Amino acid sequence: MKTRIFGTRGIAPIAIVLAVVLAAPLAAVDVQRDILRPAQAYAGAEYCLGGVSPPCFDCSGFVLRVYGNHVPDLPRVSRDMARVGQPVPRESLRPGDLVFFATGGRSDVVTHVAIYMGQDSIIHAISNGPNRGVTITPLSARYWSTRYYSSSRVLPDPVPVARVAPNEAIRFSQGTYTGDLDNGEPHGRGTMDLNNGDHYEGEFRQGFFEGTGTYTWANGDRYRGGFRSGEMHGEGRFVAASGDILEGRWESGELVRTLQESAPAATPRAAARSSYIRERDSPWETWDGVVEGDFRIWQEQQQRAFEEHRRRSEPPRSN
């Protein structure tokens, strides 16, 4: 079975039409084992235009390195990759999907590709900007969110993984996760070591803390109680690093009522803390430059194709 090619808004036809057919994966793909874990292993690799293997990659070269054994005939550059696979709305992304961006001077030209990891995280090889090389960033960060173009599913039948063991932890943009999964998102019971030194253990729902859990801040403050959408919500108990205690009720991270004071008692001000999971501290929130991506490689491909076409079209020279 072959995955159909679909058109994408604003992608101009190439000078010489090449039949790009994306074959189905050779075997069922375990996204965590076969895609995300190998991709994470390259985190920190340098960027180089034209790079398709260590020690450096460009954005589409990185995708080819990760997917090459599982999706034969994946095109070389992001602009052509965006024309294959099954289109996926942004709100329906699953780990292993490809995400495309227009990071150049035109909003209708694809220049960059990333791999979606779950929990609002993408891994990609970036040519320039606050982070360079293979790195994990939030998809919702302003730079990437405003330059989002499209996304596609090139793994039509991925094998679902129900749990991630500690030795197979997933590195998301906000921290490292082990525990239960649902369609690749943290869901059920799990633990997360956040990038700022905080730690959470408890229930998750579709990527965020939800249900009952314990959140420990890097300074030793601790909260145990209800959570919703990543923030303290419902009844809970806050214990400051000093040992002071406050029991109360929170709504969306805000302390709205003190239920019982214990001795020694923590002040409401001390208990007014938020979780890191919702922080928007990525440097991509404020950066506004141009990520060059692999557009120059696409241009070189077109030039070579044009020259070959012209060579073949020229009438033979007479003696």
CA pair distance 71, 239, nearest whole angstrom? 51
Nearest to 211 by CA among 185, 239, 184, 190: 190
- Is 233 tagged catalytic? no
Given the residues 59, 70, 187, 233, select the one marked as catalytic.
Answer: 59
- Is 124 tagged catalytic? yes
Q: What amino acid is encoded at 28 in this protein?
A: A
The answer to whether 218 and 198 are in contact (CB under 8 A) is: yes
Given the residues 70, 124, 187, 233, select the one marked as catalytic.
Answer: 124
The residues, ordered by sequence, that sit 6+ positions from 38 with a Cβ below 8 Å of its Cβ are 66
The answer to whether 271 and 248 are in contact (CB under 8 A) is: yes
- Residue in this structure with the two tokens 């340098």, named with its chain if needed: 46
Q: Is 142 helix (H, G, I), strand (E, B) or coil?
A: helix
Q: How many residues does the chain have?
A: 319
Given the residues 70, 112, 187, 233, select the one marked as catalytic.
Answer: 112
Nearest to 295 by CA among 93, 116, 52, 50: 50
- Is 187 tagged catalytic? no
Query: What residues are labeled active site?
Result: 59, 112, 124
